[in-house]
């Protein structure tokens, strides 16, 4: 198969009340971990890249690797650009082969967020590309995007309805109490707010900052309309910790194949755990 958009993946998740994990990757090994884990569990999967990852790994490299990976499996694979506020960068990724993008103008005013998002939607939809946007502000750090707790804000359901109608987005990232990065305390999610948003909006909803959120809370969020769950930090931590452990035990090691192989296996375990929690196993 070729890489696809998230449209049918997320609409099926919404119809059948499960979520598809979106895993932020950083290199070949984390891509392999995601694709191998999802293939074994027969789950659709979304591979996400931040603008920082695109700049680090190279746009053409990433698209080529994902196309090669998708051809080796029989599961739906979407390549998604995560948290991008640069319209020209988004268009560049779309032209290079991305089928799903997130325009993040959540730091702008409500009216400006609508205007910017609508402009990207019009460009993307002409090329069969799906668009995610954010209303409210999920705190923490994602790539170079840092939002302090004082600047984070929860999604207003009525504003979300107007936003979705005026922008024609395909999915909406909602702020209900999660944050990007490592949690200092267990987050308390506003499920009443999420339930209300889900009642009045007819598009798939997205949960950002899900690394470190309890399994039960993720399951409850999925019951209340979350169709896409973003995982980044847990992949990075598992990958890095396994490399540290390897060098602690093998201080003179120098072959990347030796220390990246167990790191990939650790990341793959996270991938498979999240797939099971989201309920996307055996959906292909």
Annotated catalytic, 82? yes
The closest alpha carbon to 201, from 12, 14, 6, belongs to: 14
The CA–CA distances, whole Å, from 254 to 32, 240, 251, 261 equal: 21, 16, 9, 13
End-to-end CA distance of the chain: 13
The residue annotated as part of the active site, out of 2, 82, 86, 255, is 82
Q: How many CB atoms lie within 10 A of CB 30?
A: 25
Q: At what angle do helices 233-249 and 256-278 cross, to 10 degrees?
A: 150
The closest alpha carbon to 225, from 201, 257, 242, belongs to: 201
CA 111 to chain centroid? 25
Q: Residue 257 in 3-state DSSP?
A: helix
Please state, in angstroms and rounded to a whole number, the distance separating the CA atoms of residues 74 and 1.
6
Please state, in angstroms and rounded to a whole number, the distance separating the CA atoms of residues 187 and 154.
13
CA atoms within 13 A on the CB side of 69: 28
Q: Residue 84 in 3-state DSSP?
A: strand
Write out the catalytic residue numbers.
82
């Amino acid at each position: 198969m070729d890489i696809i958009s998230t449209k049918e993946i997320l609409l099926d998740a919404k119809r059948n009340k499960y979520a598809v994990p979106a895993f932020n990757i950083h290199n070949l090994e984390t891509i392999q971990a995601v694709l191998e884990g999802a293939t074994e569990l027969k789950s659709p999967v979304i591979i996400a890249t931040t603008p920082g990852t695109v700049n680090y790994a190279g746009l053409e490299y990433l698209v080529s690797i994902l196309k090669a990976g998708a051809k080796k499996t029989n599961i739906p694979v979407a390549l998604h650009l995560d948290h991008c506020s640069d319209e020209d960068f988004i268009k560049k990724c779309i032209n290079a082969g991305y089928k799903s993008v997130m325009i993040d103008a959540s730091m702008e005013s409500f009216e400006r967020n609508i205007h910017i998002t609508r402009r990207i939607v019009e460009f993307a939809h002409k090329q069969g590309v799906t668009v995610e946007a954010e209303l409210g502000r999920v705190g923490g750090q994602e790539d170079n995007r840092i939002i302090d707790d004082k600047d984070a804000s929860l999604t207003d359901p009525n504003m979300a309805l107007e936003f979705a109608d005026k922008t024609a987005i395909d999915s909406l990232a909602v702020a209900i109490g999660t944050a990007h990065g490592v949690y200092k305390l267990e987050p308390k999610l506003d499920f009443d707010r999420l339930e209300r948003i889900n009642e009045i909006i007819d598009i798939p909803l997205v949960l950002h900052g899900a690394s470190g959120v309890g399994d039960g809370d993720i399951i409850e969020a999925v019951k209340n309309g979350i169709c896409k769950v973003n995982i980044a930090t847990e992949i990075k931590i598992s990958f890095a910790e396994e490399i540290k452990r390897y060098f602690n035990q093998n201080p003179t090691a120098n072959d990347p194949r030796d220390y990246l192989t167990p790191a990939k296996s650790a990341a793959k375990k996270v991938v498979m755990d999240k797939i099971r929690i989201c309920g996307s196993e055996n959906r292909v």
